[in-house]
Structure 1
Amino acid sequence: MPNFLTRFENDTLKIWGEHGIKQVAIWTNLVGPDADNLTHMLAWDSVADRKRKWNAFFAVPEWQEGKAASEKDGPINAKVACSFLSTTKLSAIP
């Protein structure tokens, strides 16, 4: 987890900002079977907006270099899951 958090601090968040990727929150799990998970929530205008900005982000050489440096001793990310959420009338958030 430390390498992953360092990569976010040193590379990812800056590049997200440069590409208009809006970070809502970033969490780590305190308890439970996935205690070493990192979860982040991003806000997108649309699925097309996400695709365009995400592809641009992954193409940035600075991010690719930061990723390679953080994984010099092996991969630091075992699994990635992506969901698009939509609120319901039951939600406190509109």
Structure 2
Amino acid sequence: MFYELRTYTCLPGKMPIVLKRFENATLGLFKKHGMKAGPLFTVAVGDDNLQIKYILEWESHAQRDKAWTDFRNDPDWAKALAESEKDGPVVAKISNELLMAVPFSLK
């Protein structure tokens, strides 16, 4: 098992649009495609208050690859993305890290 930490850096003033997209579309599509997401986080105190962060849990790289491919090819995702970006881009940057838990920390 491994984890994927994803960070979205929103364009100024666009975070509410991205959060609404997560609430109304993205999280449901994650479930539809077998993607196990933890809570979403915003930066309350720190260097970048334009960021949204979340963690996905994966059983294998094959599972991850298939889920992301299916998610990105889902017509409902294309519709949600287009609707949220009808007035222009809302995310400046997306980054991700694949993380392995230290075994003793899981006890």
Tell me whether the two structures share a fold, i.e. TM-score over 0.5.
Answer: yes
What SS does structure 2 have at the residue aligned with 1:39? strand
Question: What residue is the counterpart of 2:31 in the other structure?
Answer: 17
**Would you say how many aligned residue pairs link Structure 1 and Structure 2?**
93
Match of 1:4 in 2: 18
TM-score normalized with structure 2 length: 0.80
Match of 2:50 among 36, 44, 48: 36
1:13-68, Cα deviation, whole Å (9 max, x unpaired): 11111111101221110122211100010001111111100010010111111111
Distance (whole Å) between structure 2 residues aligned to residue 53 and residue 43 of structure 1? 12
TM (norm. structure 1) is 0.91
Residue among 86, 95, 107 paired with 1:72: 86
Gaps of 5+ in 2: 1-14
Over the matched positions of the two proteins, sequence identity in percent amounts to: 38
Structure scoring higher RCO (CA < 8 A, sep ≥ 6) equals 2
Do the aligned residues in 2 keep the contact of 1:25 with 1:42 (CA within 8 Å)? no
Measure the CA separation in 1 of the matches of 2:38 and 2:106.
Answer: 13
Q: Does 1:27 align with 2:41?
A: yes
The CA RMSD measured in Å over matched residues stands at 1.3
